[in-house]
Amino acid sequence: MIDFQETIEAIYYELKQSQNKGVVASYIPELSKQNKNSFGIHIQHIDGRTFQIGDWNVPFSIQSISKVLALSKAIAFEDNRIWDRMDVEPSGNPFNHLSLLELEAGIPRNPLINAGAIVVADILVTHLKHPKTDFLNYVRIITNDNSINYNVDVAASEKRTGFKNYAAANLLKSFGNLNNDIEVVLDFYFHQCALEMTCSQLSKAFFLFANKGKCINNVQHISSSHTKRINAIMLTCGFYDEAGEFAFEVGLPGKSGVGGGIVALLPNDFVISTWAPGLNPKGNSLLGMQALEYFTTKTGRSIF
């Protein structure tokens, strides 16, 4: 029997010594205040056990990880109609890349790059009566934790510097793939990205993707068929132009964010979250990627 606690402790203490901890994101000014030495790992096993080490209980900006949660809510509203407005192919490009969007007539490559996530935000703005409050409540419910909140300073900071996201939203609008007002959709999107969660809360929020759509409280939020598809999208598109590398090194569906978080899961087994704010050149947490690679290699637990 593999000792998860012993394994993550060994990984944590080894990586803590790393000389190269990557570079903290600064294009959203508020994120540059993060400490590069923060590092946490948390595992939520499907049987209820948890394992944790380091800064697993410190809230951080989940950024693009929120795109998976937003997608799950949008799918619950629109079912497979959602795929008329975006594709499910890896982009092979950075998360905020725009030229493909223009070439492909306003149909984003997938829901986990910014353009796709902005379409998902548009869908949620259409369906939710109070989009920001209702989405926050959804995240609190699936995580079983009412203390989760938006960091409004991060949302405002991103809005001030979100020129590429404005460009993406304008392109989408010009192709008729955005129904609501650009300001309203982006305000929702910036807040969604500015959700603050701990590694432990993230592991719990993503429990439903490891549990055929049932959250940690055993309530079905999405069908097992949609869960399968969301996991497939995480595997192929969850790490931007490093999705292939993550599948190759780690072998789990997962999602990263520029706040330094990564969450990954093995269906019917466990969810693992890491947080280390220093990023590699592709915008994924450097230590987080290494920790997950060591973890699946040492334990032999991956989908392959």
Q: Which of 68, 125, 154, 258 is catalytic?
A: 258
294 is annotated as an active-site residue? no
- Comparing CB distances to ligand GLN, the nearer of 215 and 237 is 237
Q: How far is the CB of 166 from ligand GLN (least distance, A)?
A: 11
Site string for ligand GLN, 272-291 (x = CB under 6 A): -----------x--------
Whether 125 is catalytic? no
> SS3 for 181-249, per residue?
CHHHHHHHHHHHHCEEECHHHHHHHCHHHHCCCECCCCCECCCHHHHHHHHHHHHHHCCHHHHHHHHHH
The Cα–Cα gap between 71 and 168 comes to 18
Residue nearer to ligand GLN on the CB measure, 195 or 216? 195
40 to 79: interface string for ligand GLN, x by CB under 6 A: -----------------------xx---------------
Q: Does 118 bind ligand GLN (CB under 6 A)?
A: no
Backbone phi, psi, residue 211, to 5°: -125, 40
Q: Which is nearer to ligand GLN, 96 or 227 (CB)?
A: 96
Among 7, 38, 165, 285, indicate the residue that binds ligand GLN (CB under 6 A): 165
**Contacting residue, 257, 260, 267, 277, with ligand GLN by CB under 6 A:** 257
| Catalytic pick among 157, 189, 285, 294 | 189
Q: In residues, how long is the chain?
A: 304
Active site residue 23: no
Among the listed residues 38, 64, 157, 200, the single catalytic one is 64
Residue 213 found at the interface with ligand GLN (CB under 6 A): no
Residue showing the smallest CB distance to ligand GLN in the complex: 64
Would the CA dihedral through 223, 228, 231, 232 be positive or negative? negative
Closest approach of Cβ 192 to ligand GLN, in Å?
A: 8
Stretch 175-194 residues interacting with ligand GLN (CB under 6 A)? 193
Tell me whether residue 212 is one of the annotated catalytic residues: no
Residues in contact with ligand GLN, counted by CB under 6 A, come to a total of 11
Name residue, tokens 């609008």. 173
Q: Could you tell me the smallest distance in angstroms from the CB atom of residue 63 to ligand GLN?
A: 3
Residue 114 lies near ligand GLN (rule: CB under 6 A): yes
Binding to ligand GLN by CB under 6 A, coded x per residue (else -) over 8-47, reads ----------------------------------------
Interface with ligand GLN includes 95 (CB under 6 A)? yes
Catalytic residue flag (residue 166)? no
Catalytic residues: 64, 67, 189, 240, 258
Q: Which residues bind ligand GLN (CB under 6 A)?
A: 63-64, 95-96, 114, 158, 165, 193, 257-258, 283
